Amino acid sequence: MSDKSENHFGIHAKWIYTANSKQELLEDHILLIKDGFIDEIVPFKSFSNDEDLNILNLGESLITPGLINAHTHSAMTFLKGISDDQRLNDWLEKSIWPSEAKLLSHDLVFDASQLACLEMLSSGITTFNDMYFFPDATAKAATVVGMRANIGLVFIEFKSGYANDFTDYLDKGLKFRDDFRGEESITTALAPHAPYTVSDDSFLKIRTYADQLGMNIHCHMHETEWEIKNSIEQHNVRPLTRLDSLGLLGPDFIAVHCVHLDSSDLEIIKKKQINIVSCPVSNMKLASGMPKINTMLNNAQNVAIGTDGSASNNKLSLFDDLKLSALLQRSEIGVKEFLNSKNLFDMATINAANTLNMQDQIGSIEKNKKADLVSFNLSDIHLQPIYDPLSTLIYSGGRDNVQNVWVNGNLKYSNKEFINDVDVESCINKIKLWKNKIST
Amino acid sequence: MSDKSENHFGIHAKWIYTANSKQELLEDHILLIKDGFIDEIVPFKSFSNDEDLNILNLGESLITPGLINAHTHSAMTFLKGISDDQRLNDWLEKSIWPSEAKLLSHDLVFDASQLACLEMLSSGITTFNDMYFFPDATAKAATVVGMRANIGLVFIEFKSGYANDFTDYLDKGLKFRDDFRGEESITTALAPHAPYTVSDDSFLKIRTYADQLGMNIHCHMHETEWEIKNSIEQHNVRPLTRLDSLGLLGPDFIAVHCVHLDSSDLEIIKKKQINIVSCPVSNMKLASGMPKINTMLNNAQNVAIGTDGSASNNKLSLFDDLKLSALLQRSEIGVKEFLNSKNLFDMATINAANTLNMQDQIGSIEKNKKADLVSFNLSDIHLQPIYDPLSTLIYSGGRDNVQNVWVNGNLKYSNKEFINDVDVESCINKIKLWKNKIST
């Protein structure tokens, strides 16, 4: 009986937003979960509980696919809020880089990623796409917390506390990939840091590995005006043109940021069916510029949303980014129609799954997909009255409305409590110790 | 003893942001409250509890002045989330105006304002500056919930369910003002709706009343490009120039929005020492434009932040607006220095008090000011680690961190519970009934 109730059960909610291709918003349905997968979605009226399943009745709640954070650096949570009031150069040169240089280690990355995972999970995020040093430590943190993660094998042309040179980054990355091959919740990508920190030669090798191993390429692109100017000085062309010439670009390429795009960039993005991940809060907080969400949607294969790392956001919750994306899209010159709440929400779910090439497994509520789910309690006084549950969640709500989070059908967070073996207090204390090492 | 503990007590917190003229952020201090006023602020180390006062120890919390929402239409909460995905014209013409025309009444305004007050209070707001029909109903709601409010005597040149013409709006407004004269927590302003809905003649009368009664003038200004075009067509000048010619502008004038400002507008704003209230979320959600926070700060006497009404935000929490103000200020062309967290926070506290001409009573934590206070619990996992409590609250936190709210030294909200006589469930149910009347 116990096995049965855990592996085969139902959830009854007032609303379910499926994020399927019809963008169906269902009212008063029951979602049946079996062995970690979505088994059936049945109108409550026509449901008869012949198998005597446990049915969790959530009342005035909205169930959505688990949110997918399409770009982050989890471990940078140890720098959350450092030098918030500083400009980019001072922020990087006086705070971020010295702190990383001083402390970077497997232990730091594990501790900080674990805290980041707890924050993301309690913000309704079930999958994240990460890029940082010691990817094995972040992958381990994700498995301990019980999340799904696509972890980048990072490449950067300088020595760090993690690796020495391209070959070293590659060897360590591939070893990490092998070590986690049996882990259902961990997938990997190749993650060259950015055009200004990776050489042509390295990019070519990365393209070869991507083809041979069937991995995506996850890379920062066109984040700042400086980056473009620098590329023109060094390579005579803009970064996207350079990477296009190198054969890097295609539907397996995930270009993060893309704040600065001219018409030649848009042509490349369209022709090569690139995926874009926008991180609007981070872009504006670092004064990199305001991403043009509408332009991205009109040109990229997929547009997904990411929080970026905690150091530049400073929330690992997609809700600030979703609302800001909506506000920016409405404010963009020439926009004819407002992005509706379903299209907006899809950027945090199915579009992100498409971006990661995981659309067959996650990103929408459909039969045979993995049961990665979130329920939001919409009975909160802050959300009343409700004309549209999805727009209510986006514009009036946020992570404080997260009620339950399931990964593979397993409840991982419920009513503000984590359901895993992580000692939350000790996790917070460890971060305070790391912070003290920076400050002193 | 009971009287003593209620009227004279202390609060001990890790941080106190005073918002005083030195912008002091105090660590490990005790705040002593006596008869509803701030009596003393003492370092914990040098405090000896000779009078055996009750000391509330909040631990890892930040105490700030109660937040001041410098512009809202509380009652519009009954329209929160209606037609979120529509453009301004459809939103106004198909949803907002017909709903108001159909339902506007004292009961509606009271019920909706009450819900709005509960939302604001639980978001750390202790004072709000309101403009809507049936100001007496909103004032009554504020007193029932236990908040401070500056309520506008509204003027608009059309007949509504509230009043027929200028004289009727004026008579009803003045009667309301008289009725609430004995209410410590209610102050009033003159609130002509906007340049495009109020005639020269009415504006002149409003100026006279403002002078004679010593009241501020609270008015929407330069919200949309249409408004400016319309003014040039009708009056041959931009709205600010028109109101300047009429003698309306001065340090008692509160200009809400000011999204579209040219150099002539800035000159007037500076010369006449006008106060600006910016509502960035509302402006961007309605696609009115992006307010230039830095430009405002460089020209206006005071810049404060407002949420605007629930229908166009849709949160009556200043945190989304504060974070967006910071992001917009950083993204503004020509900005040399980032607005720091203290200056930012002041826009939601002392600047707003200055704007309302209430700076002697509220807006900062100083001896002899009214004890309108908020404490934020910064031990939340989402906020770790903490390098700067104020920037942590602004960039990583929000209303979910509100722990306690005091008005006049009386605890009104604590640990997610309201401490007043309002039946929260019945309040929500009433709003649902009003919503159903619109939908059917």
Residue B225 has pLDDT above 60, yes or no: yes
**Is A207 touching B (CB cutoff 8 A)?**
no
For the domain made up of A2-65+367-418, give the CATH fold. Answer: Urease, subunit C; domain 1 (2.30.40)
What are the chain B neighbours of A281 within 8 Å (beta carbons)?
Answer: 327
The separation between the first and the last C-alpha atoms of chain A, rounded to the nearest angstrom, is: 55
Which residues of chain B lie closer than 8 angstroms to A112, CB-CB? Answer: none
**First-last CA distance in chain B:** 55
- The yes-or-no verdict on residue A299 having pLDDT over 70 is yes
Give the nearest partner residue to A392 out of B81, B287, B328, using CB atoms: B81
* A248-290 pLDDT tens trace: 999 999 999 999 999 999 999 999 999 999 999 999 999 999 9
pLDDT in tens, B2-13: 455 679 999 999
Q: What does the pLDDT read at residue A1? A: 42
Chain B nearest-CA distance from A328, in A, is 7
Greatest Cα pair distance in chain B: 70
pLDDT band with cut points at 50, 70 and 90 for residue B226:
very high
Q: How many helices (H) and strands (E) does chain A have?
A: 17, 17
Q: Which residue in B82, B337, B379, B382 has the most chain A C-beta atoms within 10 A of its own C-beta, making it the best mutation to test that interface?
A: B382
The verdict on B378 touching A (C-beta cutoff 8 Å) is no
What pLDDT shows up at residue B2?
47
For chain A, give the mean pLDDT. 96
| Percent residues over pLDDT 70 in chain A | 99
Give residue A88's pLDDT: 76
ipTM of the complex as predicted: 0.96
Q: Cβ separation of A122 and B281 shorter than 8 Å? A: no
pLDDT of residue A2: 46
Q: Do B392 and A81 touch (CB under 8 A)?
A: yes
A388 touching chain B per CB within 8 A: yes
* Nearest C-alpha neighbor of A121 from the set A439, A331, A350, A424: A424
Mean pLDDT of B174-196: 97
Indicate the residue of B286, B337, B381 with minimum beta-carbon distance to A118.
Answer: B381
Q: Is B281 on the interface with A (CB under 8 A)?
A: yes
Cα distances (Å, whole numbers) of residue B19 to B38, B348, B362, B397:
14, 10, 10, 19
**pLDDT of B33 strictly over 60:** yes
Q: How confident is the model at residue A97 (pLDDT cuts 50, 70, 90)?
A: confident
Q: Is the C-alpha dihedral spanning A273, A274, A280, A286 positive or negative?
A: negative
Average pLDDT over residues B353-375: 98
Which residue does chain B place closest to A389, by CA atoms? B81
pLDDT for A6: 77
Residue B167 has pLDDT above 90, yes or no: yes
Q: B2-65+364-408 is classed in which CATH architecture?
A: Roll (2.30)
Minimal Cβ distance to A330: which of B284, B384, B428:
B284
- Per-residue pLDDT, averaged over B89-93, amounts to 83
Q: Do A81 and B386 touch (CB under 8 A)?
A: yes
With a CB cutoff of 8 Å and minimum separation 6, the contacts of A301 are A251, A273, A274, A275, A354
Residue A396, pLDDT > 70, answer yes
CATH no. of A67-355: 3.20.20.140
Average pLDDT of the residues of chain B:
96
**Residue of chain A with shortest Cα separation from B425:** A381
Distance CA A304, CA A128 (A): 12
Residues whose CB is less than 8 angstroms from the CB of residue B365 and which lie 6 or more positions away in sequence, other chains included: B16, B17, B18, B19, B20, B31, B38, B41, B63, B64, B65, B373
Please determine whether the domains at A2-65+367-418 and A67-355 fall in the same fold group of CATH: no
Provide mean pLDDT across the span A1-28: 89
DSSP per-residue string spanning A254-308: EEEE--S--HHHHHHHHHTT-EEEE-HHHHHHTTS----HHHHHHHSSEEEE---
- Asked if pLDDT for residue A119 goes beyond 90, the answer is yes
Domain range summary for chain A, segments of one domain joined by +: 2-65+367-418, 67-355
Tell me what percent of the residues of chain B surpass a pLDDT of 90.
Answer: 92
For chain A, positions 83-142, list CB contacts with chain B under 8 A.
83-87, 115, 118-119, 122-123
Measured between alpha carbons, how far is B376 from B33 in angstroms, rounded to an integer? 18
